[in-house]
Amino acid sequence: MDILFGKTPAMLAARNKIERVAETDVPVLIQGESGTGKELCAQLLHTLSLRARGSLVKVSCPAIPHSLLETELFGYEKGAFTGAATTKLGRVEQAHNGTLFLDEVGSLDLNVQSKLLQVLQDGTFVRVGGHESRSIATRLVSAANSDLRTQVEAGTFRLDFLFRINAVTINLPSLRQRIADLPILVDYFIEHYSRVFRHTPELLSKSAMRLMQNYHWPGNIRQLENLIRSYVLIGSEDALVAELIPDQQRSGVTAEIDLSEPVSLKNITRQATHDLERQIILKVLQANSWNRQKTAKWLQISYRSLLYKLSEAGMPEVPPRPLRTASPKRAEHASNGVQPPSPVRTRLY
Ligand SMILES: Nc1ncnc2c1ncn2[C@@H]1O[C@H](COP(=O)(O)OP(=O)(O)OP(=O)(O)O)[C@@H](O)[C@H]1O
Ligand SMILES: [Mg+2]
Find all residues with CB under 8 Å of 187, minimum gap 6, and list them: 325, 326, 327, 328
Q: Residue 207 in contact with residue 320, Cβ under 8 Å?
A: yes
Helix 237-252 to helix 206-214 angle (10° resolution) is: 40
| pLDDT value, residue 254 | 54
Pick the residue whose CA is nearest to atom 10 on ligand 1. 37
| pLDDT value, residue 256 | 62
The pick from 4, 34, 40, 186 for probing ligand 1's pocket by mutation, whose C-beta has the most ligand atoms within 8 angstroms, reads 40
> Between the CA atoms of 274, 278, 281 and 287, what dihedral angle is there, to the nearest 10 degrees?
-150
Distance 194 CA to ligand 2 centre (A): 25
CB atoms within 10 A of CB 166: 19
Ligand 1 binding pocket (C-beta < 6 A) is 1, 3-4, 32, 34-40, 145, 221-222, 225
| pLDDT value, residue 246 | 62
| pLDDT value, residue 206 | 84
Ligand 1 atom nearest to 349, measured from its CA: 3
Give the chain's end-to-end CA distance (angstroms, integer): 11
Domains and CATH numbers, the chain: 2-173 (3.40.50.300), 176-324 (1.10.8.60)
C-alpha 325/C-alpha 231 separation (Å) is 14
| pLDDT value, residue 156 | 95
Distance 285 CA to ligand 1 centre (A): 33
Ligand 1 atom nearest to 30, measured from its CA: 21
What global pTM score does this model have?
A: 0.74
Q: Which stretches in the chain have pLDDT values below 70?
A: 1, 246-258, 314-349
Ligand 1 atom nearest to 143, measured from its CA: 22
Q: Residue 49 in contact with residue 23, Cβ under 8 Å?
A: yes
| pLDDT value, residue 70 | 93
Q: Is the dihedral of CA 115, 120, 121, 125 positive or negative?
A: positive
Q: Residue 58 in contact with residue 69, Cβ under 8 Å?
A: no
Residue 231 half-sphere exposure toward CB, CA atoms < 13 A:
27
